[in-house]
């Protein structure tokens, strides 16, 4: 299986990349992003394409064909952002990439990392949830197999760090309590390893539903 990965430098993307490289069924992982990941450079199954603008892929289109799955883990926190700026990164950029890949790989499975609490109506009061909901709906209308992942709290694997300082601070505080939180709230807490394994399972076997909530995610990896 050949996999495209966007957002490999983020916390979720790092976890997904790790699981891809551990999976013997994955023959190639191609990372597309604005900066190099800076590790695993000697792995023969891993390639990177550095682009100045992820939303503009026309120059590298010949290298984006023939893939079985795309794991789209690229995203930003909405904290401190206007709706217009958040929409440009969350909706506009995602759809620019997805439309290109749907044209080049119509049989592809496209897995999008959304979030628990996403507003599928696209009309709610919470800005990020509304924009995420509009993004999900637009992806589900494209001519490929799109699956939306809505994780809640994600515990990073050892060595994996969020790029967002606020999240790093929060995870550092929560780390000692993570085992207790997972035991007490199994449908609200997951790990970066579980997300990666669940994405790979969906890419290989399909998903029972287009929107994967936390209880569905847990079932995929139990």
Domain edges within the chain: 2-221
Please state the rounded mean pLDDT for residues 46-54: 94
CA 132 to chain centre: 13
pLDDT level of residue 176 (50, 70, 90 thresholds): low
Select 2-221's CATH number: 2.40.33.10, 3.40.50.720, 3.30.1360.200, 3.90.1300.10.
3.40.50.720
Residue 163's pLDDT is what? Answer: 59
Q: Is the pLDDT of residue 159 over 60?
A: no
* pTM flag (> 0.95): no
Residue 83's pLDDT is what? Answer: 94
Residue 205 CB neighbour total at 10 angstroms: 10
Helix then strand count (H, E) for the chain reads 8, 9
**For residue 79, what are its two tokens?**
């904290």
pLDDT level of residue 10 (50, 70, 90 thresholds): confident
CA torsion sign, 97 to 123 to 152 to 209? negative
> CA nearest 75: which of 122, 20, 8?
8
Residue 217's pLDDT is what? Answer: 86
Please state the rounded mean pLDDT for residues 74-86: 91
- Lowest model confidence (mean pLDDT) among 67-71, 132-136, 161-165: 161-165
């Amino acid at each position: 299986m050949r996999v495209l990965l966007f957002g490999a430098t983020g916390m979720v993307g790092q976890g997904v990349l790790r699981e891809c490289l551990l999976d013997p069924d994955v023959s190639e992982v191609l990372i597309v992003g604005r900066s190099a990941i800076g590790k695993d450079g000697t792995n023969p199954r891993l390639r990177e394409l550095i682009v100045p603008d992820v939303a503009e892929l026309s120059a590298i289109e010949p290298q984006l064909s023939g893939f079985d799955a795309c794991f789209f883990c690229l995203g930003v926190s909405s904290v401190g952002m206007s709706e217009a700026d958040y929409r440009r990164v969350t909706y506009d950029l995602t759809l620019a990439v997805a439309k290109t890949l749907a044209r080049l790989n119509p049989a592809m499975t496209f897995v999008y990392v959304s979030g628990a609490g996403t507003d599928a109506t696209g009309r709610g009061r919470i800005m990020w949830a509304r924009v995420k909901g509009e993004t999900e709906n637009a992806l589900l209308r494209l001519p490929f197999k799109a699956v939306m992942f809505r994780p809640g709290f994600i515990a990073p694997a050892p060595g994996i760090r969020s790029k967002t300082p606020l999240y790093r601070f929060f995870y550092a505080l929560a780390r000692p309590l993570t085992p207790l939180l997972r035991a007490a709230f199994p449908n609200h807490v997951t790990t970066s390893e579980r997300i990666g394994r669940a994405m790979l399972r969906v890419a290989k076997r399909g998903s029972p539903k287009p929107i994967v909530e936390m209880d569905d995610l847990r079932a995929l990896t139990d």
